[in-house]
Structure 1
Amino acid sequence: MIPSPLLRWPGAVPGEGEAVGVAAFYTNPYVEQRELEAGCGFVDLSHWQVLRGEPGAWPSDCPGVHNELPGAHREYLDASHAREVLECDAAGRILSALLHCPGSGADIFLSPPGGPDCGMSPANYIAIGTTTQGAARLRATMHGQPGLSATFWEDWWPGSDRVILLVKDIEMLARAGQAAGMSPVGLFAWTAHRVAARRPDPFRAARARAHLADIYGPGVAGIRESGEARARGSREIGTCESGESGTSQLGEAGRKSLACLYLEGPDEADLPEAGTPVLAERSDEAVVGFVTSAARHWEEGPLALALIREPTALGAVRVAEFRCGVEPIPLPAHAPVAVTIRESGEKSVVSRD
């Protein structure tokens, strides 16, 4: 990947792994978190893929998507409302994820490095992360300029105000941001802001093969099978309420629940990586789940999001060198996501590190 021009910004510290080419932070990650939360920061996401689909064709751009949605449920899944496009196996495990940005000229999809492209063509945009307040400042500053697209992704998760804007020229965006009293902040701040909002990452969920209902709750899309769909060997997708008859609810067995962990341990201890086991604080230290994300927040301290069994009954748990308090995360009543089911035997497109 070609390094971002913002890596030449004073104090920029390059990211590693899938974050190669953009800044992990610039000066002080805690200061940058406060700037982002105050609407004074923007995050370079130029290492993400920005992909273009044909206007009105969504989601049939993606191989294996069966675009025969029951009319009563189309309000949650059509191109003007959908925010996440997920591919699952028949057991409800998330295999891959895209973010969908409804646009006036074409449907735009966002994917992190190594994610699926579904055969779509690259779009001539760069992704920039900010907050609702920061997006309003940038739009006001760049009003009338050709470098900022009207296409954007706005987080629908309760408590999250993240927005991803698309720009043609990231240096033009940086200059406009400076004029609006804003500055670039690193990926550390972006991750900490998400974790503090108790917002699960669909891309990490795909890598962990997390179950759909565990991440998105009872209002998540379920499977509806019709005679015609069975004859084609495909499944139609619609939204459903928890307990609705005639619907096979993905992940209804309630394997795990989303929880926030307050990490208490040595200041010098490394944060747990995704996939680190969560252990019950008992003599047998049974594995009750795994970490999906972790960050050091400027106000709340070290935090982790995890999928664990029966979080309300566990009390404290242990993760690596940390003893952790457990806070169950209420899941949304409705989740504006679109789901395709990859039948066994079909080739899957999977997010990779």
Structure 2
Amino acid sequence: MSTDVPVSAAVPGDQPAAGIRSPWLSRAGAVEATGIDAGIAAHYGDPVREQRELVAGRAAVDLSNRGVISVTGPDRLTWIDSITSQSVARMQPGESSETLLLDQTGRIEHAVRLVDDGVTLWMLVEGSETAALLGWLERMRFMLRVELADRSAELATVGAFGDLDLPTAAPNGVPLLWRDSWSHVAEGGWQYSQGEHAGAEFDYSEALVPWAEFDALDVPAAGVLALEALRIAAWRPRFASEVDERSIPHELDWLRSAVHLSKGCYRGQETVAKVHNLGHPPRRLVMLHLDGSDAVLPAAGDEVVLVADGVDKVVGSVTSAARHHELGSIALAVVKRMTDPVAELVVVADGARVAAAQELIVPPGAGAEANVPRLPRLGAVTRPR
């Protein structure tokens, strides 16, 4: 990755104004995405080939609709450490991390990708999160020595696999390159999925590229559909897709990369500890292998049902779906914890019924890791063995 490109000052023309499409949409074959990825390309004419090129490290994906927030000042790391789920107080220049901002009941409010350059902590977030997260952080600064700014007008996010050479910004001599830690369990984290993990080879990163360099970037492009297919196959949760108003990290196996279980207190920490040590998450993430014979791909929100005695019982909903270049039609879904993990399910999609085979991610027994011995009921007689 290049390291000598400074962050340019935001000037008119550096990036599209709000509501304007990415300049990469002028590339040959580009088809604009809809919904949460509006403003960037869904694909450039061949989503399957683009997946192969992307995972092989020969293409990059335009994520310029994402947001970038900078936090400067000597208190930046200890402050973010104290209010979010990950231990980041001792992050070193160039180091990447991921953290969650939870509410008082442990529900996920924001998911943030972090890279520090020794002077500034850079936050990479969904575009729709940027204003709300920045406003909340501004209210929480109090007397701390930190300064916040929305840098989305200066830096575009570009996703890639492997070590694709990109003109990565380095305003303080350290490349602003976030490396995803999903391929392993982060220090202080916990993995609920058992056996070989589907994300073990998920060698993904996101580079912050100055807008002046981004428009003219000479690199083969893959659409966001290609990235989504690879993410789903790796069981990788995304805030804009897998999170709803009830989500807690345990349900999505997000303790794996974004939660440090032995750090100090933070908002929502009590729920995180209680569910992990004593309870079970009420829902669980599952990957679905879909019957592709009818060429129907479910959409986010489509119901997942279990058929029992000829009656449909709704057990959850699809959060994201894609056609993978090797696995075929796949989806992530959040279902009720006690849904039979070997049962064949059905997704009701656009009036069609799509058969779905489960691949276990978060098992029904996730949690209760403290192994606290069960105490006898008050007044119960304990008989010798």
Above 0.5 in TM-score?
Answer: yes
Q: Indicate the larger mover: 161-170 or 36-45.
A: 161-170
1:279 counterpart = 2:321: no
1:210 counterpart = 2:247: yes
Please list the CA deviations of residues 26-76 of structure 1 after superposition, one character each: whole Å capped at 9, or x if unmatched. Answer: 1211110111111111011111111111144335777xx84599xxx94x6
Whether the 8 Å CA contact 1:125–1:167 is kept in 2: the answer is yes
Equivalent residue for 2:123? Answer: 109
Equivalent residue for 2:210? Answer: 168
1:316 counterpart = 2:316: no
Whether the 8 Å CA contact 2:84–2:99 is kept in 1: the answer is no
Whether the 8 Å CA contact 2:69–2:134 is kept in 1: the answer is no
Equivalent residue for 2:160? Answer: 130
Q: What one-letter code is carried by the residue in structure 2 that aligns with 1:200?
A: P
Equivalent residue for 1:325? Answer: 357
Q: 1:190 aligns with which of 227, 230, 254?
A: 227
Matches within 5 A, 1:1-353: 1=18, 2-58=20-76, 66-67=82-83, 74=87, 78-80=90-92, 83-115=97-129, 116-119=132-135, 120-123=148-151, 124-131=154-161, 133=162, 136-139=163-166, 142=167, 150-158=175-183, 159=199, 160-169=202-211, 171=213, 175-177=217-219, 183-216=220-253, 220-221=259-260, 235=267, 237=269, 247-249=273-275, 252-269=279-296, 271-282=297-308, 283-308=310-335, 309-310=337-338, 313-320=341-348, 321-329=353-361
Q: How far did residue 161 of structure 1 move?
A: 1.7
Whether the 8 Å CA contact 2:99–2:114 is kept in 1: the answer is yes
Q: Indicate the larger mover: 192-201 or 311-320.
A: 311-320
Q: How far did residue 237 of structure 1 move?
A: 4.5
Taking the aligned partners of 2:169 and 2:38, their CA distance within structure 1 comes to: 32
Taking the aligned partners of 2:165 and 2:222, their CA distance within structure 1 comes to: 15
Please list the CA deviations of residues 148-195 of structure 1 after superposition, one character each: whole Å capped at 9, or x if unmatched. Answer: 970122111132222100100365575443xxxxx0111111111101
Whether the 8 Å CA contact 1:15–1:21 is kept in 2: the answer is yes
Q: How far did residue 6 of structure 1 move?
A: 1.0
Equivalent residue for 1:230? Answer: none
TM-score scaled by structure 2?
Answer: 0.67
Q: Indicate the larger mover: 319-328 or 211-220.
A: 211-220
Q: What one-letter code is carried by the residue in structure 2 that aligns with 1:326?
A: Q
Whether the 8 Å CA contact 1:96–1:203 is kept in 2: the answer is no
Taking the aligned partners of 1:68 and 1:149, their CA distance within structure 2 comes to: 24
Q: How far did residue 218 of structure 1 move?
A: 6.1
Q: What one-letter code is carried by the residue in structure 2 that aligns with 1:317?
A: L
From the superposition, tell whether residues 47 and 224 of structure 1 become closer, same or farther in structure 2 (CA, over 3 Å): closer
Whether the 8 Å CA contact 1:204–1:292 is kept in 2: the answer is yes
Unaligned runs of 5+ in 1: 178-182, 227-233, 241-246, 332-353
Q: How far did residue 285 of structure 1 move?
A: 2.1
Q: What one-letter code is carried by the residue in structure 1 that aligns with 2:295?
A: E
TM-score scaled by structure 1?
Answer: 0.73
From the superposition, tell whether residues 127 and 30 of structure 1 become closer, same or farther in structure 2 (CA, over 3 Å): same
From the superposition, tell whether residues 217 and 36 of structure 1 become closer, same or farther in structure 2 (CA, over 3 Å): closer
Aligned residues: 300
Structure number with greater CO (CA < 8 Å, separation at least 6) is 1
Pair member with larger Rg: 2
Taking the aligned partners of 1:278 and 1:5, their CA distance within structure 2 comes to: 38
From the superposition, tell whether residues 169 and 200 of structure 1 become closer, same or farther in structure 2 (CA, over 3 Å): same
Q: What one-letter code is carried by the residue in structure 2 that aligns with 1:264?
A: D
Taking the aligned partners of 2:341 and 2:251, their CA distance within structure 1 comes to: 17
Taking the aligned partners of 2:50 and 2:318, their CA distance within structure 1 comes to: 24
Residue aligned with 1:299, SS: coil
RMSD: 3.5
Q: Indicate the larger mover: 203-212 or 191-200.
A: 203-212
Taking the aligned partners of 2:209 and 2:114, their CA distance within structure 1 comes to: 16
Q: How far did residue 82 of structure 1 move?
A: 6.3
Q: What one-letter code is carried by the residue in structure 1 that aligns with 2:275?
A: Q
From the superposition, tell whether residues 217 and 45 of structure 1 become closer, same or farther in structure 2 (CA, over 3 Å): closer
Whether the 8 Å CA contact 1:138–1:176 is kept in 2: the answer is no
Whether the 8 Å CA contact 2:168–2:176 is kept in 1: the answer is no
Equivalent residue for 1:229? Answer: none
From the superposition, tell whether residues 169 and 196 of structure 1 become closer, same or farther in structure 2 (CA, over 3 Å): same
Q: How far did residue 290 of structure 1 move?
A: 1.9
